[in-house]
Structure 1
Amino acid sequence: MKILEFIYDLTGSIFITWLISLVLICLVFYLIKRLTTGIYDFFAYELSIKDAESLNVTKIQFIREIVDWCVENLGLASNSNHPPSVELMYYKHSKLSGVYYTNGKRIIVYWGSHQNLLDIIDTTIHEYQHYLDLKNMKDVKAYDKESEDVGYFENYYEVRARKVAAKHRVACFKYLKKQQIIL
């Protein structure tokens, strides 16, 4: 109530006081929603990678379904009429979660390098973004020069791929769940 009294003292109007109070309440609810969305997404979609019953398709088909989602939602590369091919390695790679090879238009996902299905979706979308960005060897040279100049983590192509994956991974998860690919 002291807040209302303070606002009233500033404005001198009960209407303005209530209007400002309503705006502040809406702002608080908006901030709570924005701050908790990431936490909710994490807990709502956290699935163990070892939980085989959570997939209604084979692991390679799961990766292909993610790529199909990418085609529908992110499009094809401007120089291509078809999506990249996909390979699945079941072991944990010492450094990589996935990789994209421009010259073969091929995405490789290392299943054992992931903790949950959402991470696999994230990696696949990340590598798909590389397919969209790295269309030819000229693009690969630009990628390599960028890595040399600013480092891998700050490389524009990597930053972009991480942002795109983070933006779309939950939507892709929800789609796969709705399609009963994830049970």
Structure 2
Amino acid sequence: MTALMLATEITKRPVVTLGGDAVAQVKDVVFDGGGGRVVGFTLSGRKWFSGPMKQSLPWTAVHGLGRDALVIANEDVLETRTDVMEKSEARGGDVLESRVLTDAGTDIGRIVDVVVDPGAGADVVGYEIAPTEALGRRARTVFLPRAETIAVSGQALVVPATVTEYVAEDLATFEERVRAYRDRTQSTETEA
């Protein structure tokens, strides 16, 4: 993995061309709910009173995603908002503020952000959650690896209870917890 990013860190970043021209800024990150990937970005104008743009940016057109900007070849790579949104299985669904429940029925928290690995195709690797007492954590927020989601609705995300064994309290240690969880699930699948 490369340096992990929170989806909220990506919003408001400028979108610039390889030639250095500022085109827009990121308004929202669009996710493929089932595939666990970023599919694109909705955009807004760069001026103070600019609103949402009719064009959006598909992930496939992103040349680079860094701490300071998203880089694209040129403005020709932008697509209609509808085209980008149709690539998302969620189609308007938003996981932020959703409850996170285990398959055993325990409420472990509420999603406050999504953790993205900008390398490897912009995978969603986990969630930042505000934990409940049931999770047994004292931190204000913790990081939970993205598991095979059992169910998702506008109100709740249901995950296997075993994922709670891999919670981290910061992004630096979260990367290792994600690796450990993936190793466990792959070895379990191999045994089955």
The TM-score, its normalising length taken from structure 2, stands at: 0.22
Q: Which has the higher strand share?
A: 2
Q: Which has the higher helix share?
A: 1
Q: Which has the larger radius of gyration?
A: 1
The TM-score, its normalising length taken from structure 1, stands at: 0.23
* Bigger relative contact order (CA 8 A; separation at least 6): 1
